[in-house]
Amino acid sequence: MPANEAFVETVLATWDSGDAVFPVDQRLPGHSRKSIVAAMGSARVVDSTGDVVNLSNQLPVEPGDALIIATSGSTGEPKGVVHTHTSIASSAQATNKRLGTTTRDHWLACLPVSHIGGFSVITRARAAGCQLSIHDSFDSDAVEHAARSGATMTSLVSTALARVDAGLFRKILLGAGPAPQNLPPNVVKTYGMTETGSGVAYDGVALDGVELRVDESGEIFVRGAMLLRCYRDGTDPKSADGWLATNDLGSYENGVLRVDGRRGDLIITGGENVWPAQVEATIAAHPSVSEVCVRGVVDETWGHRVVAWIVPKQDTSITLDETRAWVKQTLPAFCAPHEIRLLEKLPRTTIGKIDASILR
């Protein structure tokens, strides 16, 4: 089923029957959709006409289970994250409280509902008792039309934010990766993941009901009612006392959480630590750069070398020497790329994140 009013009605009816839902990414090819439906142990499929197909090899759900979202995590293998009615309600209520959502607001869901950032818009609108509009795909003209027609809040990723007039909305939640510099004042940078039921910290401050801590190694841990119950295979990534290790590294600065990146993204080159996000933000500010991704590539001399994949702006070009000189104006010399690779576009996942695994 595509994301539309019938989709929402089907979700609510499924919940009323005591079952859970698994939204399927409509952009996947047919064989991939069949494969992931089987991997999640789905009992039946509802198509765009409302027709139901019953399946074999289904896995049961526990009482209170509401939502299963597929995530590739750090391994690339799809895992089903199981959320309960309690966890998704806790996330929705915490978000609405922080944003001051009222019944006069109007949520717009325009990200894929197969991802937690898109689906959670539905539950926020339902929790607040406010109007909901839902689009089956992102279209900048349709998003701006929705805002001019009354939508006051939405969730976006950076690539989508760059294509719309942010000032049309009262609030925009921005997630799924590093945020661009100089965000408009109505844009809230969020930190979270599928396992946390969407964002758990807004502009570096934990939502009500969320506990955050950073351990001695710099890893971020989360605890709260909005965390997943378990994965679809029954494994529970939380500790005995409820803490979830995120595999993200960060620190607190004046009481505000700073997220440096995934543990596996840290580049150690010549014994020095380089965070890709810092280098990306610097290179992205160059007048000839449209998009950039920075990662480490194995190197016999340096351990890893810093490589930047760059999409130049139209009718411009940039060289390695220019890039290195630009980076060294604001960051230590060891952060400057050893190599650049020019592309026409960066590969992205279905949610809009840069797919660094393809680049590597």
Cα distance from N-terminal residue to C-terminal residue, the chain: 34
Q: Do 308 and 296 contact (CB within 8 A), yes or no?
A: no
Domain boundary among 262, 295, 328: 262
Distance separating alpha carbons of residues 340 and 313, to the nearest angstrom? 15
Handedness of CA 79, 84, 89, 91 (dihedral sign): negative
Same domain, 275 and 320: yes
CATH number of the domain enclosing 118: 3.40.50.12780
Number of domains in the chain: 2
DSSP states along 226-293: TS-SEETTS---B-TTS-EEEEEEEEEETTEEEEEEEGGG-EEETTEEE-HHHHHHHHHTSTTEEEEE
Which residues have C-beta within 8 Å of that of residue 3, sequence separation ≥ 6?
Answer: 23, 26, 109, 112, 113, 118, 134, 135, 136, 137
Same domain, 201 and 293: no
* Cβ burial, residue 61 (10 Å; 0-12/13-18/19+): buried
Same domain, 227 and 290: no
Question: To which H or E segment does residue 188 belong?
Answer: strand 187-193
φ, ψ (nearest 5 deg) of residue 265: -85, -15
Domain boundary among 262, 277, 292: 262
What integer pLDDT is reported at residue 74 of this predicted model? Answer: 46
Same domain, 255 and 273: no
What integer pLDDT is reported at residue 274 of this predicted model? Answer: 87
CA neighbor of 237 nearest in space, from 222, 258, 225: 222
Same domain, 86 and 210: yes
Distance separating alpha carbons of residues 83 and 114, to the nearest angstrom? 13
What integer pLDDT is reported at residue 223 of this predicted model? Answer: 97
Same domain, 116 and 224: yes
- Tens of pLDDT along the chain (360 residues)? 889 999 999 999 999 999 999 999 887 778 888 888 999 999 999 988 889 999 987 899 999 999 999 986 544 567 899 999 999 999 999 999 999 999 999 999 999 899 899 999 999 999 999 999 999 988 999 999 999 999 999 999 887 888 899 999 999 999 866 677 788 999 999 999 999 999 999 999 999 999 999 999 889 999 999 999 999 999 999 999 999 999 888 899 888 998 877 777 788 888 788 888 889 989 999 999 999 999 988 888 888 899 999 999 989 999 999 999 999 998 888 899 999 999 999 988 766 678 877 887
Residue 237: CA atoms inside 13 Å, Cβ hemisphere, count? 20
Residue range(s) defining the domain that contains residue 179: 1-262
What integer pLDDT is reported at residue 350 of this predicted model? Answer: 65
Same domain, 71 and 202: yes
Domain boundary among 233, 262, 291: 262
What integer pLDDT is reported at residue 351 of this predicted model? Answer: 64
Same domain, 138 and 193: yes
CATH number of the domain enclosing 279: 3.30.300.30
- Rounded alpha-carbon distances, angstroms, from residue 85 to 15, 29, 156: 9, 30, 24
Same domain, 193 and 275: no
3-state secondary structure of 214: strand
Same domain, 68 and 117: yes
For the whole model, what pTM was predicted? Answer: 0.79
Same domain, 28 and 63: yes
Same domain, 240 and 96: yes
